[in-house]
A and B are shown apart, each in its own frame.
Chain A
């Protein structure tokens, strides 16, 4: 069994890693009241600024979008689109080109291995990018930063590599494109620093 991240030195600040994973989870979950509140209160922008500052990146320059526009953009980009979904939000699909394929199976087993379980109320696939990011925050908070980092590098980063360009090209909300660009840059920076 090969588990490359096991031997990777973890130099990442746990709080930074946690915030990055939270932002991924919050951005790509189905837009609901919590996201609307975090947008309206400025909490999301503040969190982005904090992460940008920590990683020496430019914060994403998004304006709070019209809520219905954001909702429609989410469906168009990630759920069902008249023009074809730009970014199926499943990390295993990004890796394997197959739903519930080997990577998704492996991911589910690994979460289970770490005592992290799928909630009954969750109605989407277990390897939805938001769900995986949430799992990462649980790992981070369970003092398993090495596992959280491996999750980020092994499963989330490939999804961004696969779909970031398409999201940036097709987003009409003015939210998902800058957030995706920012989060992808943050992943690269966190990964780079972890390996340094």
Chain B
């Protein structure tokens, strides 16, 4: 065995540049030679090499503070810590499973550019350097700007880094078309209603004073299924302490199982129930008259308006007996102000009705005298930390956000966003960006950035979204995993996971406001980068460097922290800085300050602003959209071990819950001949079919609706654990109704029929898939 021509051949391509001979002497761990991986040395050679760092979780958006433990250069464990108000020393399953996402072998690894001539969605890519990818993007953006204007590039973002991609970079570039699904596909109605009622937003941490309340009424609020760590902790502690619970829900939810009363309301009629409660509280004069007199405006109009909404009227609509409506109202009043109707997070249910429902919910709370009182809603503001000194952005960001109120758009040299005029609120509405990509009206949208937004699992009318993507001149996806929509992009930019990066400070409006920081526990794997870096480098390519005057994130964070007398070094030692809050009205009054930032300075029952805009100034009940005969209204909710459609390739979480099921009432199942756990298809009113999905035949749901958990039904072969499991609610949402107040998209206006006889897909156990994943 000899080379015939010469002893050594040198190939240029063999110089990879990965490894080199070092200059330092090494300790001889393996004095015998090179260790055989199949017969490794006993024990852990790196034992004792453990470091910890602070972070906050990104597995859902409760953002619990966590400590990350690294051993041998790999994240081995994450834990909550007691000093952090969002985790209080505990994490949920999703947080605990965070390392499995970092070490997910299906992760995006390098910048990719779609092969020229290949179709969007065909998934043909070539690798690119970051520099080449940025050049490619910049060239396309400049071409769009020159032909259509800067506004014709739209940005969508979800996650901590969305501040860079849905707010800062769009503001620097000059487009008002920047939006977050966490607004119009989630919280928009509650924020619009809150701002125009309380003069304050709800904020990312719903300000329920769980520790002090004695009586809780949940309306379509799935605590325990829609799991937010400390919210669930405090809810459970309240019940343990003896607080009474009433649950209003068409479904006997996990929370309903803990309730003294379950009111199985007819879907889409919640506003009628709330209006009837307002009626009872006022008619029976059991509201908190002193509180109302002191802090509210428009009570007389409300009383006159609510007189029509009797419990008997509501019974005919809601199918909840009038006597029950009266009884619950009286119980609430008896416990006031320590009785509370908590605000939920995902409140875009029926569109036209959503802001009315949220306003009515707030009104009941106000009548109970609980807003800003112990046991009701506490008041909170985010800690103030200066921004990094930089020139003012050409355009104020208007994406809003989960927990932020509507953004007022003042005079601007830029065209208004493409959704302007469709609704009253001023935060942009993500689903309203899609149609202009197809029609070019009111003006063309030709470029799109999607940061952490799963376009096909969050925005309704998926086929319309795909059609819109085909019309774009540029589509950039920034993500961690190769979700379906990612593989449609012209350029794919891989973001590193939160365990590998710094992010901006998290300023939390809370009963005890606090600041938490995220430190990288390990270096980013592959050629992935953090959002702040991607935004800055792209900004520089776009000639926007003046808006990114910091050299790196450490400088950025340290400068911000210096404004409160802290530093990045200090935060590395403590992770969280907790402030004293002013949770109650009395705390404000001691300082001679008014917490209600409404035009009147009062809590407003009657909104002049709505009236001036031609909208109902008081909440009304509007008949819901109806569906075809033989179909069930499609309701949906969350899984406690998954977040949106983000976590369905996480081996740890999929081991806990690997597919969803459709809840179907027992009598309906009998009528259809469907047995428990049988696989069925779901077909919606427009002929879209999802499944196979298991039937969960149960008494725990009304006969006129079905229910599935969100986030399943991925159609991404490259996500080897998630692909093809269960049914997607988003794909079945082929119509929605726009809330004229907030721009929210009411998604529960879709109906499905059950198609029995679907084949058993013979899903492999997750553990087996994990083993097979490494075996091609």
Contacts and interface: CB of A to CB of B under 8 A. Distances in A.
B18 A79 contact: no
Given A71-B126, A138-B20, A109 B2 contact: no
B770 A43 contact: no
A119 B20 contact: yes
A14 B620 CA distance: 85
B35 A3 contact: yes
User: Would you call the interface of chain B mostly helix, strand, loop, or mixed?
Assistant: loop
B45 A109 contact: yes
B14 A88 contact: no
B124 interface: yes
B116 interface: yes
Interface in B3-46: 3-5, 7-22, 24-30, 32-42, 45-46
A147 B34 contact: yes
Interface in B703-757: 717-718, 720
A185 B482 CA distance: 34
B35 A1 contact: yes
Interface in A16-63: 16, 18-19, 21-23, 25-27, 29-32, 34-35, 37-38, 43-44, 46-47, 50-51, 53-55
B14 A124 contact: no
B7 A15 contact: yes
B45 to A, nearest CB: 6
Chain B contact patch, size range: 35 or more
B329 interface: no
B30 A134 contact: no
Interface in B96-130: 103, 105-106, 108-110, 112, 115-116, 118, 122-127
Nearest to B529: A123
A97 to B, nearest CB: 4
Q: How large is the interface on A (under 10, 10 to 19, 20 to 34, 35 or more residues)?
A: 35 or more
Interface in A72-117: 72, 74-76, 79-88, 90, 92-100, 102-103, 105-117
B19 A97 contact: no
A11 B654 CA distance: 49
B775 interface: yes
Contacts of B1: 12-13, 16, 54-55, 190, 193
B774 interface: yes
Contacts of B124: 72, 75-76, 82
A115 B30 contact: no
B236 interface: no
B16 A106 contact: no
Given A15-B3, A18-B8, A85-B718, A125 B17 contact: no
A16 B2 CA distance: 7
A62 to B, nearest CB: 14
A176 interface: no
A1 B30 contact: yes
A3 B19 contact: no
Contact of B125 (A16, A75, A88, A163): A75
B487 A82 contact: yes
B380 to A, nearest CB: 41
B489 to A, nearest CB: 11
Contacts of B10: 22
Nearest to A22: B14
B72 interface: yes
Contact of B718 (A51, A83, A102): A83
Nearest to A105: B72
Interface string A131-167: 1011101110010001100110011001000110110
A53 to B, nearest CB: 5
B609 interface: no
A65 interface: no
A91 to B, nearest CB: 8
A68 B116 contact: yes
B717 A37 contact: no
B773 interface: yes
A55 B22 CA distance: 32
B482 to A, nearest CB: 5
A112 B3 contact: no
B774 A35 contact: no
B69 to A, nearest CB: 15
A29 B527 contact: no
Closest 10 CB pairs of A and B: A82-B123, A131-B18, A166-B776, A26-B13, A22-B14, A71-B126, A150-B34, A97-B774, A117-B22, A3-B32
Given A55-B1, A109-B29, A166-B776, 8 more contacts: A5-B36, A53-B4, A82-B122, A97-B770, A106-B41, A122-B16, A125-B525, A150-B36
17 contacts: A37-B12, A50-B4, A53-B4, A72-B124, A76-B125, A79-B110, A82-B718, A100-B74, A106-B45, A107-B37, A113-B28, A116-B22, A121-B17, A122-B19, A124-B109, A130-B18, A138-B20
